[in-house]
Amino acid sequence: MSERIARVALSRLSEPGDVRLAALVEGLGANKVFDLLRDEQDVAGVYTDVATRLRDLDPERDLGGAEAKGIRFVCPEDEEWPSALTDLDRAEPLQGRGGVPLGLWAKGPMRLDEASGRSVALVGSRSATTYGAGVSSDLAAHVAANGLCVISGAAFGIDQAAHRGALAVKGRTLAVLACGVDRAYPAAHRNLLDYIADTGLVVSELPPGCSPTRLRFLSRNRVIAALAQGTVVVEAAVRSGALNTANWTTRMNRVLMGVPGPVTSAPSQGVHELIRTRDAALVTRGEDVLELLAPAGVAVAPDRRGADHPRDSLDPRAQQVLEAVPVASGAGVESIARTSGLGTAEVTTTLARLKARGFVEESGAEWRVADLATR
């Protein structure tokens, strides 16, 4: 049996994120591990767990059936296997799950390594606010228009908005599922998932036909974090699954980012906690994300600043004189000097300069502000 077929078999036998199995495969190779299990050797207790599933196992038929549905199995021996996933072997397990996936079942025209190479995960609450969904979609559109692949989990709320934002600009997007890629979860996202599979990529650790479970969502989150260069949490209540993805992002030393929101909004509380206590970088727009993911010096986000006022070009002492010039009735040099707290000679010279630049006007021995708008 080839390594590939052995990996397909183990993928069907095990629950994703089984650290014992990942360690065995890393040490012995998939083929050897599968032989041991078929011989009912209970290495690391794995046999006992998978015994009932061993009975009707047929990996060749599994693979053939998947291929008939346009689904391929991508594993470490394939060219499109992204090196980013291999980093999972060094990340500490979380809630007992972890390890490099045995392979990913994939549907769609995009190459997995290309999707992962320049990418960002956008994750967050299923119960997103209009605000959160809008920000997710805008961020996704911006980074996708700049060539990044938007990775998310195809759930309601933030995930959906992220995929749609990327699709809206004909950008790249990748959905990572907690069930087989031939299934639609949630069912309402059938069309969205079909569209992503037509233009981008839908992947899962789980073989076709599998249903999602809570534990599978937790394992799935590590794949999202591992595939992406960084993860943005858009909205997440304090118990949101998105915080699990954030945890994996930190474990993998990838860039963790969070979008702030109103402190009065429950779906923003988890994000604020990430920024406050987990050193997540605060991001407010696509440029910030591009800057944080770019190599040093590339894609520096433009400064946010308001329009300059003409008076900002004046030195502080000239501003001090200008401020002492009345708007309505005029005033003499002596009075302006007293008001400004500057000497009469300096005030006289400065008033002439200000007049030349159109800030003040003179009428007899009296001065007043020329144009209120320039103050």
Residue number, 80 or 273, with CB nearest to a second copy: 273
CB 213 within 8 A of CB 190: no
Amino acid identity of residue 318, one-letter, is A
User: Is the omega angle on the peptide bond into residue 186 within 30 degrees of 0, that is, cis?
Assistant: yes
Nearest-angstrom CA–CA distance, 15 and 141: 34
Q: Mark 51-90 with x for binding to a second copy (rule: CB under 8 A) and - for no binding.
A: xxx-------------------------------------
**Neighbour-count burial of 218, counting CB atoms closer than 10 A to its CB (0-12 exposed, 13-18 middle, 19+ buried):** buried
For the chain, what is the radius of gyration of the CA atoms?
30
Q: How far is the CB of 282 from a second copy (least distance, A)?
A: 5
Nearest-angstrom CA–CA distance, 10 and 14: 6
* Integer CA distances (angstroms), 304 to 144, 206, 314, in order: 22, 45, 22
Residue number, 86 or 335, with CB nearest to a second copy: 335
SS3 category, 276: helix
Q: How far is the CB of 95 from a second copy (least distance, A)?
A: 6
The values of phi and psi at residue 201, to 5°, are -155, 135
Nearest-angstrom CA–CA distance, 162 and 30: 36
Q: How far is the CB of 128 from a second copy (least distance, A)?
A: 13
Q: Mark 97-126 with x for binding to a second copy (rule: CB under 8 A) and - for no binding.
A: x-----------------------------
Pick the binder of a second copy from 40, 60, 323, 371 (CB under 8 A): 323
CB 83 within 8 A of CB 98: no
Q: Mark 130-149 with x for binding to a second copy (rule: CB under 8 A) and - for no binding.
A: -x--xx--------------
Closest CA to 359 of 369, 348, 344, 347: 369
Pick the binder of a second copy from 128, 176, 324, 369 (CB under 8 A): 324
Residue number, 253 or 284, with CB nearest to a second copy: 284
Q: Residues touching a second copy: how many (CB under 8 A)?
A: 58
| Contacts of a second copy in 197-226 (CB under 8 A) | 213-215
SS3 category, 176: strand
Q: How far is the CB of 241 from a second copy (least distance, A)?
A: 12
Pick the binder of a second copy from 133, 202, 275, 314 (CB under 8 A): 275
Amino acid identity of residue 84, one-letter, is A
Contact between 304 and a second copy by CB under 8 A: the answer reads yes
Residue number, 204 or 269, with CB nearest to a second copy: 269
Residue number, 170 or 239, with CB nearest to a second copy: 239
Nearest-angstrom CA–CA distance, 178 and 15: 11
Q: How far is the CB of 350 from a second copy (least distance, A)?
A: 12
Contact between 365 and a second copy by CB under 8 A: the answer reads no
**Neighbour-count burial of 27, counting CB atoms closer than 10 A to its CB (0-12 exposed, 13-18 middle, 19+ buried):** exposed
Contact between 319 and a second copy by CB under 8 A: the answer reads yes
Q: Which residues bind a second copy (CB under 8 A)?
A: 13-15, 48-53, 95-97, 131, 134-135, 213-215, 237-239, 259-264, 268-270, 272-273, 275-276, 281-285, 288, 304-306, 316, 319-320, 323-324, 334, 337-338, 340-346
